Amino acid sequence: MTARILSGKPIADAIKNEIAEEVSSIETAHGFRPCLAAVRVGADPASEIYVGNKVKAAAQLNIISEHHHLPGETSHEELMSLVKQLNARDDVDGILVQLPLPKHIDERSILEAIDPMKDVDGFHPINVGKLSLGYPSLVPCTPAGVVEILKRSGIEIAGRHAVIVGRSNIVGKPLAMLMLRENATVTICHSKTGDLPSVTNRADILVAAIGRSGFIRGEHIRDGAVVIDVGINRVTDVDAAHEFFSGDDLAKRLNTIAERGSTIVGDVNPKEVMAKAQAFTPVPGGVGLLTVAMLMKNTVTAARLRRNYEL
């Protein structure tokens, strides 16, 4: 068996096209465009790329975007003041504070200070509570992207057994709530789960979100399972590349390591899982491409919810 590759790009493109049409409709009917304010503190290179991608995506979809880049020595109080200013502005629909923040800033209190109606990351406790209760809310982007990939790829969720490896507040827990909403039977596994393969082998849909390179191997899945890889890890070791990849893909990965010093791999060992899975999301090129698209969708949803427009 060779797994069907569930590419994220065509799905992300379809969602972005839908968002662009919705933004145009909002502007025509109500005379405004949704606005996203992105806040970045310090000079973390990865954060710069992530925020840049989000601002660029907003511009492509005709969403107004603001990029507030603050110096690394910005105090907790100064960042809190900016968040409160953005909360108070009626023209701002979504607020994104890019993580990680410098160590002297309390991330939790900053995230909790964001107006829940503008919390496009879906991290605020009020939005977490609404998600668990099934109320309309802003949902964390990556879990929402996982559900979109499954549904738009024609993979049945209702009645299936979904096993999620990872219990983070960003992916594992909210994804469990979303899969329950779609009528799946859900099991969450984590670092303390005993005999992990015996649990994951019962999965119709297996989601890897544990943050360890190639952790999920052939022994962890049953033949014909759908495997969703949420992980993003950098591999610099050539031996590890041989362990995870084969054929043309291995050659490309080795070339990337030689040129850039590393290649990206998920939480799944693709060489082993591809031989057993029915379908599989690649890394890169899978779930990650949905995250920005779902952020844009949340921005439009926030604009509608705040103004009580029909969803």
pLDDT score, position 191? 87
Whether the CB-CB separation of 197 and 242 falls below 8 Å is answered with no
The CATH number given to whatever domain includes residue 51 is: 3.40.50.10860
- 163 with 106, same domain? no
Q: Which residues are catalytic?
A: 54, 98, 121
- 97 with 181, same domain? no
For residue 158, give the 3-state DSSP assignment.
Answer: coil
- 44 with 147, same domain? no
pLDDT in tens, 147-168: 999 999 999 999 999 999 999 9
Q: Is the residue at 42 inside a domain?
A: yes
Using pLDDT thresholds of 50, 70 and 90, give the confidence band for residue 311.
very low
Residue 6 CB neighbour total at 10 angstroms: 24
Whether the CB-CB separation of 268 and 231 falls below 8 Å is answered with yes
Whether the CB-CB separation of 158 and 303 falls below 8 Å is answered with no
Distance linking the first and last C-alpha atoms of the chain? 42
Structure tokens at 245: 């990849």
Q: What mean pLDDT is reported for the chain?
A: 94
pLDDT in tens, 233-288: 999 999 999 999 999 999 999 999 999 999 999 999 999 998 899 999 999 999 99
- 157 with 105, same domain? no
pLDDT in tens, 71-129: 999 999 999 999 999 999 999 999 999 999 999 999 999 999 999 999 999 999 999 99
Distance of CA 82 to the CA centre of its chain: 25
- 180 with 271, same domain? yes
- 281 with 155, same domain? yes
Domain that holds residue 58: 31-115
Alpha carbon distance 121, 54 (integer Å)? 12
pLDDT score, position 1? 62
Is this prediction's pTM over 0.75?
Answer: yes
